[in-house]
Homo-oligomer: A and B are copies of this chain.
Amino acid sequence: MKERKIILSEKEMPRKWYNIQADLPNPIQPPLNPQTKKPAGPDDLSAIFPMSLIEQEVSSERWIDIPEEVLEIYSLWRPSPLYRAYSLEKALGTPARIYYKNEGVSPAGSHKPNTAVAQAYYNKEAGVKRLATETGAGQWGSSLALGCNYFGLECTVYMVKVSYHQKPYRKSLMEVWGADVYASPTDKTKSGRDVLAKDPDSLGSLGIAISEAVEDAAGREDTNYSLGSVLNHVMLHQSIIGLECQEQFKLVDDYPDFVIGCCGGGSNFAGISFPFIHDKIRKDKNIRAIGIEPKACPTLTKGAFTYDFGDVAGYTPLLMMYTLGHDFMPNGIHAGGLRYHGESPLVSQLCKDGLIEARAYGQEGVFEAALTFARTEGILPAPETAHAIKGVIDVALECREAVEEKTILFNLSGHGHFDLTAYDDYLAGKVKDVEYPQGLIDQSIASLQKLL
């Protein structure tokens, strides 16, 4: 019997995160203050972030120590298992070797706690008592609730109202871990009240929820803000995923030709791929890293590489990144985690420089891939993760065509236990491919030119 799982002991867990800023051929452009449009300094950020995270945000140190307290919490589920997908390979009839890193084993069910725990720790260290954040479908909110729970921080989550009512399970999970969850827009913030004054029945949006959380954090001395993707320190914390994979590949004497992840804000893709990009840059390893996004929100494949806000209201610094424009409203697709208009500046720069690639897929093929995976490997993937799986299956079938024994690694970024409504819709034939019209993308991007 061939072993499916490649396991590291807790003693073998990496003790340092990898910071790709040390190795970029071209550095990322600095964030700009949203008012002055001048490069933003630490003071622009210190109202809502602790100095330790601001330092990580701009650091060019290659290796950054993971605090012992964070490692101790990580060890509740890390190192996560690397699986060889024998059953999927057999079903596809491919000569390719497919591996997946299962980040769904965390208590919150995804990779998000890797940074939530670290952020909670650094805020606790800085004397902060409370964190505020936004959440859409609830993956990030539940992860931050978990992180705060471990370090005795209060946690307030502004959850997009439509999700609050449609995904009550995620809200309950946050409450189990002690967080306060509000349906956004609320009457607790000026930005929330402004929206409600115009539209008392507003269903909310991620943009509004971000504004509420940032306003909450900026207005209270004891409170900071926390973001689950996009920023450099988030990519840093997620690097433990790829670092573990590298150790696991040593155990089976293999190494990936392809590293694949789904791509929304970029953190799970960065987490699994950046340590391998390190090898590509410094050790001349010939790997291809592919970020998979939905055709409904094709940031890397159809967006512009330019400065844009991270939120709808324009409260955040301007970031140099691939973006569809902050006014971009993606169609209602089931992978809520991939509906963000922008992209991590680090992932964007690497894409610009040709060090990573991107592909976009429609929903039908993505759910078909998810079912193939669930019926072979057993695990039900999150709809976001299913995008990566669709990419993997396509590459594996290309290997079959070419009769090439390539090694494919992908990030199983989360399970789909809270996403079964989406599967229901797919099985009922209600999931259709949606592609965002090029004309609207052009229009949205054109409007960015007046920002600077």
- A1 CB–B CB distance under 8 Å: yes
* Per-position binary interface string of chain A over residues 353-391, scored 1 when its CB falls under 8 Å from any chain B CB and 0 otherwise: 000000000000000000100110111100000000000
Structural contact, A109 and B417, CB atoms closer than 8 A: yes
Question: Which chain B residue shows the least CB distance to A178?
Answer: B375
A427 to B172, CA, bound (A): 9
A93: B residues at CB distance < 8 A = none
- In A307-343, the 8 Å CB interface with B consists of none
A157 to chain B, nearest CB (A): 15
Q: A109-B417, A375-B178, A418-B417 are in contact. Are A4 and B168 (CB under 8 A)?
A: no
Inside 8 A of A371's CB, which chain B residues have their CB? 176
Interface size class of A (residues with CB under 8 A): 35 or more
Roughly how many angstroms separate A107 CA and B105 CA in the complex, as a whole number? Answer: 11
Determine whether the beta carbon of A1 is less than 8 Å from that of B173.
no
Is B4 within 8 A of A9, CB to CB?
A: no
- Which of B146, B150, B377, B421 has a CB less than 8 Å from the CB of A76? B377
Contact of A379 among B107, B377, B423 (CB under 8 A): B107
Query: Which B residues are in CB contact (< 8 Å) with A374?
Result: 107, 176-177
Which residues of chain B come closer than 8 Å to A105, judged between CB atoms? 105
Measured between alpha carbons, how far is A105 from B178 in the docked complex, in Å?
A: 24
- Quick one: closest B residue to A175, CB to CB? B427
A198 sits at the interface (CB 8 A): no
A114 CB → nearest B CB, Å = 13
Cross-chain contact A169 with B420 (CB below 8 angstroms): yes
Contact B109 A71 (CB under 8 A): no
Inter-chain CA distance A3–B74, complex, in Å, is 11
Which listed residue (B87, B106, B107, B168) contacts A420, Cβ 8 A?
B168
Task: Return the chain B residue nearest A106 by Cβ.
Answer: B378
On chain B, the residues within 8 Å of A1 by CB distance are 10, 68, 71-72, 75
- Chain A residues 70-108 with CB under 8 Å of chain B are 71-72, 75-77, 87, 105-107
Q: List 12 A-B contacts (CB under 8 A).
A: A1-B10, A3-B10, A3-B11, A3-B75, A107-B380, A109-B417, A169-B417, A172-B424, A172-B427, A173-B380, A176-B374, A176-B380
